Structure formats: structure tokens, C-alpha cells
Amino acid sequence: MKRIAITAIACSLAMAIQAQNFEDAVRFGRQPNPGTARSAAMGGAFTALGGDISAISSNPAGIGVFRKSEVSLTPLLNFAKTEASGEKMNKTAFQLGGLGGVLSFYSPAFNWKSFNIGFYYTNLNNFNRNTRQTVAVSNNSFTDMLAMSAGQAESDDLDGFTTGLAYDAYLLNRDPETGYYHSILGAEEDVAQVKDIEERGYQGEYTLAFGTNFQDKLYIGASIGIQSIYYKMTSHFQEAPDVDSPSGLDYYNFLEYKKMNGVGTNVKFGIIYRPIPELRIGAAIHSPTWYSMNYSMSTAMDSYFITPPQGEEAYNFWTPSYKMDIDYDIRTPWRATVGLAAVLGQKAIISADYEFIKYTNANFQNASDGYDYRNENDVIQSYLRPTHNFRTGAEFRANSIVSLRAGYNFLNSPYHETDKAYNRIQSWSTGIGLNFGAFYCDASFTHRWSKNETIFYSYYDAEDPSLDIVSQPTQNKLKTNEARITFGIRF
């Protein structure tokens, strides 16, 4: 039997961590969830409005608009749908969308009319999603990529997360004369591929905000935020020869498990100015969030043979999983927003926001085990770009009790890519509000959609492009329907 795959941790990190970090800069930097049902219904366009408790997450000056104290609770129900390669997968999740309150100390007799304090928890991201991707006929195999990655390494020096597992599962053989590895599948053999991905988790923020009001014209605010992340991903990749293979292979499985959790801090500053009662202008700047993260990962592989490899009696070969656990720091991008809102008497509100996020500002550092993240940071500089995002919303007050709302939210792609339609996140939303004075209740519905293109694996040879191996891409459509309801009390 072949040896059990063991390799140095530094060698494993190069293959196992790099892509994950590159994705993290985007995954944790994009925050599409807007907080309360009112904010969600209006597309999150509250930079210039304020007066909504979740607005302190986007512009802390909004807390200065409050003239009464308030507490609110927002549960949400998320329905995530993924369509990839004709396969449709669904996942439903119930989460806390927001919870918090504002203490308002309003004194109309003074120029500085109020000093308000607010605390709010908001759900920034929902990572719950199931995905199935398939390639019915592929003219290259994951094992081809692994063979090229293995190069001429000694078997004891193979990567324990990938190539070492494939070698122990009898999916790679080494040429004794050249020292190079090759797949047990022939060069002309087609394979069928399927990958199931299960993602779970959330990203939330606890915000402590302070705001003041000068003559009901200028509102100034600042906040301290503590963000928390929990993300878990399990994937199952299976590959099988399209027809009976001379190798005797029936199929094999490659399993991956990744988990990240961490805590980070940030600060935010904002202003809102009312030059005339009908017009509000707002602006805010958000510092990066500095996270301390823990990352754990394991992989495993097993193979099933119709005919055992020569010299072996078993039909099934299972390789034990290889595990890794490291700590590191991540800095998410900084962002700035400006907003403009028109308040038309007591009947209507129209609001619009522009947001700038500098993804190239993201950075990884201080990893345990002495791992050097400079390569990953170079990748961020090369493949990410600053983005320009837009939000708009409207509210119509039918009477003193009922308000109708609608909104649109556009998050541009942070990637340098040919097809700009990929990796954009767009949403439209609608909602209704009921105001009974001391008590209010808001409800919203949001439909969010995006699409992207992904590959299972790739190998690029810097000297000979003819040796490049890239799996067939899969087109993925990601849709989310989300319902929120907010219950609030003013006092």
C-alpha cells in the first residue's frame, strides 16, 4: 500500500488557503442586508434620511434625527435559491435581522437640541445557501490538474490536502524514469463531474452610536462597531469516467470542509445637513474593519474501482482527512457614502445614495505558523477594483397610519473581468408601514439576484500554456427572497 499523506504545513497553505483568502476580501466586504423592514423596503437608501434605527449602521448622524426614544426588533426569513447547470437547490433560514434601541434627550429650547445614544445589532450578511454544479462530459479531469501540480515531487513531499490524497487513493501514478506524475485516467478519457456545496453562516454588527442635533439643521454622529463572522462550507466533488475505464476506476470523491469565525472592530463618522426643510444631504465614512480570524480546513478523498489496481485486492481506497488550523488578521475595505433626500411635506420621501468601496484596501497579515500573506495581498491588488454602488428608495404616506415603500439596490462587481454582468448584486424591494403613534409595525419583501461563472479547478503553466488545465465553467444564478417584519415602540 502507498504511504499515508503527510506534508509540511507551509507547503499545504500555498494551495489550500490562497483562493479562500481572495474570496474572503469580497465575501466579508459586501454587505447587502440593510437592517429594519423600513430600510429594506426603501433599498437601504438612508444616508441622508436618518430617523431609522438601522440607519446608524450606514450613517451614525442619523441617530441625531430622533426626537423620541425607541426600541425595535426585526426577525427575517431568507429563501436562497441557486440554479447551476440546470440543477436547482434551495435553502431557507430564519435569522435575527436587527435588535436595538435609541435613548433620545431632546430639548427644543437650546441650539444643540438633542444628544442621543443608540445601540443596534444588525445582520449584514446571510451565507446560507446550497449549490449543485454539474459537467456532464469533461475532456479533462481533476486528477490531470493534480498530476501537473505534483510535478516531480517525492511521494513523501506531496501536498497532504490534494495531491497526497490522490496518490494514496490510487488516482495518481509516478513514472519511475522521469519522476513525473500522471492520472490513472487516459488522456482521451471523458469524465462526468458533480459538485455539491453547502454554505452556512452570518455576518453581524453590534453598533454603539452617538449623535447630536444643531438647530434641526445639522446632525453629527459617530459610532463604534464590533462585527462577528461565522462561515462554514462543505463541498463534495465526485468524478467518474464517462465509459468503462481501462484503469478500472468506477468513481472517486473529494471532500472539503472549511470554517471561519472571527471578531473585528471599526469606527464610522457621518453628517446630515438640512439647508431647507424639504432637502437633506448626508455623508459618512466607514473605516476598515480589523478582524482577528480563525480558519480551519480539512480534506479527504476516496476511490472506488470496478477492477482493483494491479497488485491490490481492495476495491475501495479511503484516505484519512488532512487538517489545518491557523489564526490570522484581515482588514476589510474602507467605504464612503453620500446621500440626497427630499421630504415632500407629510406625504412623500425620495432618497438616493452613492457608495464607494475600495476593495484593493483589503489586506491579510499576522498569520500563525509564520505564513507570508504577501502573495495573497498581491492577488487582491491585481484582481480586485474599487466599486461604485447605488441605492434609491421612496415612501408614500397614504394617511397618518399607512405608508407604502419601494426601493432598488445595486452593488457593482469588485472583480476585473470581461463580462461585467457577472458578480453584480441587484435587488428590488417593497413594503408597508403601520404607525400607531407609540407603536409601529413595518413589513418588507426583497428580491435579490446575481450571477457568476465558476470552475472546479485550474492549472496554469507559466512557461508552456499548452500545459494549462482548466475545467469547464459552470454558470450560476443566485436568487434570494427575503421577508422582514419590524416591531417598534416609541416613548
**Averaged pLDDT, 64-83:** 95
Residue 66 pLDDT greater than 90, yes or no: yes
Nearest partner of 89 among 127, 134, 131, judged by Cα: 131
For residue 92, the tally of other CB atoms under 10 A from its CB is 11
**Averaged pLDDT, 362-387:** 81
pLDDT averaged over the chain? 89
Contacts of 299 (CB under 8 A, 6+ apart): 16, 161, 162, 165, 254, 255, 256, 257, 321, 322
Convert the pLDDT of each residue in 447-479 to its tens digit.
999 999 999 999 888 888 888 899 999 999 999
For residue 361, the tally of other CB atoms under 10 A from its CB is 18
419 pLDDT tier (thresholds 50, 70, 90): low
CB 459 within 8 A of CB 145: yes
Q: Output the pLDDT for position 356.
A: 97
Convert the pLDDT of each residue in 252-285 to its tens digit.
999 999 999 999 999 999 999 999 999 999 999 9
Radius of gyration of the chain (CA): 26
**Averaged pLDDT, 64-93:** 94
Q: What percent of the chain has pLDDT over 90?
A: 69
17 pLDDT tier (thresholds 50, 70, 90): very low
365 pLDDT tier (thresholds 50, 70, 90): confident
- Residue 103 burial by CB count (10 A; 0-12/13-18/19+): exposed, middle or buried? middle
**Averaged pLDDT, 396-404:** 95
Nearest partner of 384 among 360, 355, 361, 364, judged by Cα: 360
Residue 11 pLDDT greater than 50, yes or no: no
219 pLDDT tier (thresholds 50, 70, 90): very high
- Secondary structure of residue 22 in the 3-state scheme: helix
